[in-house]
Amino acid sequence: PISGVSLWAQPPRAQVALGDHLVLSCVLAAGPLSFSWHWGNSGALLGTSPRLELHHVGHNDSGWYQCRVSNGDSVTKSDPLNVTVL
């Protein structure tokens, strides 16, 4: 089973000004792995790499983000991270 998935944001605390750049990174010390990024309650798929970049962040980008990691046998999720657009 996979464990120890961490979610990091730049800028720190995931507070980003309108129009700025946001980088979310999903970190796990194991491989080979596949990644997926999801937003909000819808679970909308946003990307499939360990890093998610949002350029020109808008108000509609606020919300909860989560990374899911799979090794082919099992899937684990990061804790959700609340992104606030100021």
- The pLDDT of residue 62: 94
Rounded CA-CA distance 33/54 in Å is 22
Q: pTM above the 0.75 mark?
A: no
pLDDT score of 27 more than 80: no
How much is the average pLDDT of 34-53? 89
pLDDT score of 31 more than 70: no
Rounded CA-CA distance 55/13 in Å is 17
Fold of 6-85: Immunoglobulin-like (2.60.40)
pLDDT classification of 29: cutoffs 50, 70, 90: low
- The pLDDT of residue 7: 85
Instruction: Identify which of 49, 50, 62, 69 has the alpha carbon closest to the alpha carbon of residue 22.
Output: 62
